[in-house]
Structure 1
Amino acid sequence: MTFNFFWGVLFVVVNFGLFLLCYRMFGKTGLYAWIGFATVVANIQVAKTIPMLGLTMTLGNTIYTSIYMCTDLLNEKYGSKDARKAVWFGFFSLLASIVMMQMALVFKPGAEDFAQPHLEAIFGFLPRVALGSLVAYFCSQFLDVRIYSKLKKHFSHYNQLWIRTNGSTVFSQLVDSLIFCTIAFAGEYSFGVWWQILVTTYLFKFVISVASTPVMYLARSMKFPDANEPASPSQGVNPN
């Protein structure tokens, strides 16, 4: 659908704009806040499917990609320790939201309640889908941090950020898509359908990741008066 494509472009622009605004306003703390927000919202949006460019895809991929942007930016400017901490923060946010919403669904709704069926439709994850989401997030995010750290050693030039961020994301998102689709959908669909879901999910994430590269350069260039923020490499400090 033509409308979905152009609305999707605007959707991506707004997503990246809010990501930059969050970092501009709150610095490193904003990146942690964004990860907590994005892990929850991505798993809500994924419940909606849309037709675009002749394919059926799920929402959630755009904001999920921004989680990798956060960990890569933390790794770039603050180090791998802060990036790993952010992964744990996102994992806790995802796990806590799943647990609390599953418990909330068990309450018997009142006679005038209208929200229960809608909440069940959104948060009533099948166990396999919830498990797939948690395992895929955990494995792929830590892999992303590790690969990014390795790439920093071999492609350490300040202008080689695009290699570090895209290189780590290409592999980690492939692992994420493979784990999630296998746990959530293997056996539920024929191999042909399962393969199409896997390929389209990964390709869309890959396109969004490449499109995020200028955003990463812009975010890295932001300077903060806070003493806890890193000095700019242009001031003679080694960016690694």
Structure 2
Amino acid sequence: MPDYTHPLDEARQFIYKSKTGRKPLNELLWFAMMLANFLFILLFYRLFGKTGLYIWIPIAAIIANIQVLKLVDLFGVNATLGNIVYASSFLVTDILSENYGKKSATRAVVVGFLSLIVSMCLFQAALWFQPSPDDWANESLKNIFGLMPRIVLASLLAFGMSQSHDVWAYNFWKKKWPADRFIWIRNNASTMISQLIDSIVFTLVAFAGTLPLNVLLQIFLSTYILKWIVALLDTPFIYLAVMMNRKGLIPEEI
């Protein structure tokens, strides 16, 4: 009987090859996901205005807290998967700071903070229910959401501290250099320091004592560097958001 390999198995083998000779599909997917996040933010902004940006904040916060549980090999190092969608929330608060001011950006931080608390409570409540004998998903949910309290505590601290700094720093640099040609400076100067704060706080609170020190350091460095790349590459998109707003392409607040 001929040896038959299902195409799906071949795809899995292609994606999950060992580091020696592994094709760079993870890296390609990472850049594709980053571009998709940026485009989704602009789509939400174009369709729903400022409200769309507020909607994106809890989406990013909740998805990031689930994706962060998955470790992947990126550029030869261990990294958490949720760094793109989480880092995209800094682009959102920077757009709000630029187009609507500090008060609007601060409101988005509060929305994100509350969404983390609510999602943790509801996810934990789901685990309290006794599963049916026919249930097949409860163990998987326990594996994911069982870690949520510590992950969410880390996210709450990291999100609150880093985003508050980001809003403050963006407006600080905007007062120093208010011209449009300096948007890239205030966007990157505020975000990159905020990302450092976020990476330190989250890595220590979420993973300290559960992972070997070398893995912990690798996760911290890779997470920060990847978020730094996201912050650098989101710069054209904040310019696009500013241009869309000034050309009257953004609807009034819904």
TM-score by length of 2: 0.85
Shift in Å, 1:84: 0.5
Question: Could you tell me which residue of structure 2 aligns to residue 36 of structure 1?
Answer: 58
Letter in 2 for 1:108: Q
Residue 29 of structure 2 corresponds to residue 2 of structure 1: no
Deviations 1:51-89 (A, max 9, x none): 121112111111111111111110111010011011000
Secondary structure of the corresponding residue to residue 49 of structure 2: helix
Shift in Å, 1:226: 6.8
Secondary structure of the corresponding residue to residue 172 of structure 1: helix
Q: 1:190 to 1:113 in 2, by over 3 A?
A: closer
Separation in 2, partners of 1:135, 1:96: 15
Shift in Å, 1:228: 4.6
Question: Could you tell me which residue of structure 2 aligns to residue 12 of structure 1?
Answer: 34
CA RMSD of aligned residues (A): 1.6
Q: 1:192 to 1:4 in 2, by over 3 A?
A: closer
Structure with higher Rg: it is 2
Shift in Å, 1:119: 1.3
Separation in 2, partners of 1:210, 1:47: 25
Question: Could you tell me which residue of structure 2 aligns to residue 198 of structure 1?
Answer: 220
CA contact (8 A) 2:46 2:251 kept: no
Residue 159 of structure 2 corresponds to residue 134 of structure 1: no
Separation in 2, partners of 1:169, 1:132: 19
Shift in Å, 1:189: 3.4
Structure 2 stretches lacking a partner, 5+ long: 1-22
Question: Could you tell me which residue of structure 2 aligns to residue 53 of structure 1?
Answer: 75
Question: Could you tell me which residue of structure 2 aligns to residue 232 of structure 1?
Answer: none
Separation in 1, partners of 2:31, 2:249: 33
Moved more, 6-15 or 88-97: 6-15
Structure 1 stretches lacking a partner, 5+ long: 230-240
Question: What is the total number of aligned residue pairs between the two structures?
Answer: 229
Aligned partner of 1:163 among 164, 185, 190:
185
